[in-house]
A and B are shown apart, each in its own frame.
Chain A
Amino acid sequence: MSTSSMSAPVAQPLSGPVVAAEVRTVALLLGTAVAALLVYYFIGVDQGAMSVFGKSMYIHEFFHDGRHFLGFPCH
């Protein structure tokens, strides 16, 4: 009911960058973002507007309903 009790420790705001801009960290974050974008591409775009594995339609047809549903252009 009440707001936070007086004795409870107050959550501290962050005072500076938590994840430092070091090479290994940046590489991990960048690699993860690229992998995520590749998944995005294969679910939504490949074998539609452009195609990595030639002109087959297996990926397009398999993800077909999801592709429409997620808002990607199709057909």
Chain B
Amino acid sequence: MEKQLIGRGVLAGAAAGLAAFVFARVFAEPVIGKAIAYESARDVVQARLDRAAGLTVPAAGPDLFSRTVQADVGAGVGLILFGAAMGALVAVAYAICLGRTGAIRPRPLALLVALFGFIGIYAVPFAKYPANPPGIGHADTIGPRGALYLVMVASSCLLLFLAVYVGQRLATRYSTWTASVLTGLAYLGAIAVVMALLPALGDLHNNVVEYGRHATETPLPLRDARGTIVFPGFPADVLAQFRFYSITAQVIVWGVIALAFAPLAERVVAPQDSAARQDRRPLVRT
């Protein structure tokens, strides 16, 4: 049974990744293009300012893949693999939850597992360290930034697991509703503490040394030696659009996993439920 569940999870996930890729290719790639155009134009001005200040300008690294390959192949393979991996995780979590999380039926349980995946793996980490388009992010902080993001993902998933575990214990004393609300609030409180303890990206040592105190790494306007702005800061609309599309893509990934995996899993776990639904259909129509 678990083999079937995993296979169906991977399948639903790959389909979800493909759907997110189609969305990303149509809507997000133009925004990524704008962000890269900003970054390139900024680099040119920055190099001019550096030369004027007598600094040596480092040469840019070679492009290993063309933009077309990155946008059409790399993003596609990446999103499909990501979807398949998340589908596999949903299937594993689902198999463990079956019958261990109260009297919930197989189909709604699949929806909840996918919802919790979205919250734990993406939405909560995003609240602390939101997605950024190319052009935002300093190369010399990628180490701590990557580590902090993973700490955020791990904490939110671990706390979510604990919330479910504690909620199951509480549900024996209180109603399911009360237990859910209590553990939900406890989760929010715990993750808020984690977020408050982790540093803002602008507070990272290299950033403070090089750029002064700012909340984020979003590029500020460039100024010449006299302090006149010679190049604008990162366009706010491009950033807002990119983040909106990033959230939308993840909603597509987890939403399609939920909607595709739930009926597929039900057919494995509770074929009688699935059959009952099939039998009912003509009755309703006539």
Contact = CB atoms under 8 A, between A and B. Distances in A.
B78 A32 contact: no
B86 interface: yes
A19 B88 contact: no
Among B28, B143, B150, B250: residue with most chain A CB under 10 A: B150
A11 B82 contact: no
A45 B132 CA distance: 15
A15 to B, nearest CB: 7
A74 to B, nearest CB: 6
Contact of A58 (B64, B75, B125): B64
A19 B280 contact: no
B273 A11 contact: yes
Interface in B58-100: 61, 63-65, 69-71, 73-75, 77-79, 81-82, 84-86, 88-89, 91-92, 95-96, 98-100
B218 interface: no
A73 B145 contact: yes
Contacts of A62: 64-65, 69-70, 73-74, 77-78
A71 B82 contact: no
Contacts, number: 197
Contacts of B236: none
B126 A61 contact: no
Nearest to B23: A69
Contact of A12 (B95, B130, B143, B273): B273
A74 B78 contact: no
Interface residues of A, number: 49
Interface stretch (B102-110, B160-168, B226-234): B102-110
B131 A69 contact: yes
B92 A18 contact: no
Interface of B: 1-3, 5-6, 24, 28-29, 32, 61, 63-65, 69-71, 73-75, 77-79, 81-82, 84-86, 88-89, 91-92, 95-96, 98-100, 103-106, 122, 125-126, 129-139, 142-150, 242, 245-246, 249-250, 269-270, 272-273, 276, 279-280, 283-284
A-B pairs with lowest CB-CB distance, top 6: A49-B146, A66-B78, A13-B103, A39-B85, A71-B131, A18-B98
